[in-house]
Amino acid sequence: MRDADFHRLVPSGVSVHITRVAFKNVGTVDAIKEMSELTNLLEAARLLAHVEPSCITWADTSGSFLFGPEGDLAQIKAIEGEIGVPASTTSSACLKAFQKLGASKVSIASPYLNEVNEKMLEFLRAKGVPFSHIESLELRDSSQIARTTREIVYRLARKALRDGDTLFIPCTDFFDLDLIDLLEKDLSVPVVAANPATMWDALRLSGIRDPVRGFGRLMTLA
């Protein structure tokens, strides 16, 4: 997760507080599932509860879609039940973003291994999200993803978009925040990227509707 992104994605006067769960840095289905167990999420959420947040979100795309079509909702329910504030996940936020943007055919630029991509596509199908094409770097660990240059992400995104009307860039570790405006201009489609979608949803759940410009169309929508 690129922590600095979240501080850049909020209006003036909004504070962002971040904690982490333990991770082996291996991007396999088993390793991500182990990281994302409810006991780990609730332990992290309890640490954040001390700052009296208006919202708590599980900022991890794969860690919220790997548990089946209801897995993200179970995570949300558990966090809300434990802390008593609205909650979200990155996958849930991206689904809301697709709906808000009127996406009817989603192209995907992914960093994940194929086994993770397959689970993501299963999740999207179950949620009724139509997708047209996926391109992937098939990277094995999060440090590789975080070190991916903007040039590589840009080329991947252009390659991924074929006949889609929306581009989806999953993964909160990807170096894409400063590319979103450029991609939307060059490709003439809205871009749903993990970190902006996560924060857009968290802000709305917190009752904050102020537009944040410079990071794509989604961040300007109430």
Pairing of strands 131-136, 87-89: unpaired
Cα 61 to Cα 64: distance, rounded to the nearest angstrom: 5
41: how many CB neighbours lie within 10 A of its CB?
23
Tell me which residue of 82, 13, 11 sits closest to 48, measured CA to CA.
82
Structural tokens at position 111? 């960093």
* Predicted local confidence at residue 2, as pLDDT: 83
For residue 139, which amino acid is it? L
Cα 67 to Cα 186: distance, rounded to the nearest angstrom: 35
For residue 22, which amino acid is it? A
Cα 217 to Cα 102: distance, rounded to the nearest angstrom: 12
Digits of tens for pLDDT over the chain (222 positions)? Answer: 689 999 999 999 999 999 999 888 888 999 999 999 999 999 999 999 999 999 999 999 999 999 999 999 999 999 999 999 999 999 999 999 999 999 999 999 999 999 999 999 999 999 999 999 999 999 998 889 999 999 999 999 999 998 899 999 999 999 889 999 999 999 999 999 999 999 999 999 999 999 999 999 999 997
Is 185 buried (19+), middle (13-18) or exposed (0-12) by CB count in 10 A? exposed
Cα 204 to Cα 211: distance, rounded to the nearest angstrom: 11
Q: Say which residue the tokens 């596509």 belong to.
A: 121
* Predicted local confidence at residue 49, as pLDDT: 96
**What predicted TM-score, i.e. pTM, was given to this entire model?**
0.96
Cα 5 to Cα 3: distance, rounded to the nearest angstrom: 5
Cα 140 to Cα 117: distance, rounded to the nearest angstrom: 12
Tell me which residue of 65, 7, 9, 10 sits closest to 36, measured CA to CA.
65
CA 79 → CA 7, 32, 90, 154, distances in Å? 22, 18, 14, 35
* Predicted local confidence at residue 86, as pLDDT: 98
Q: Which fold has domain 3-220?
A: Rossmann fold (3.40.50)
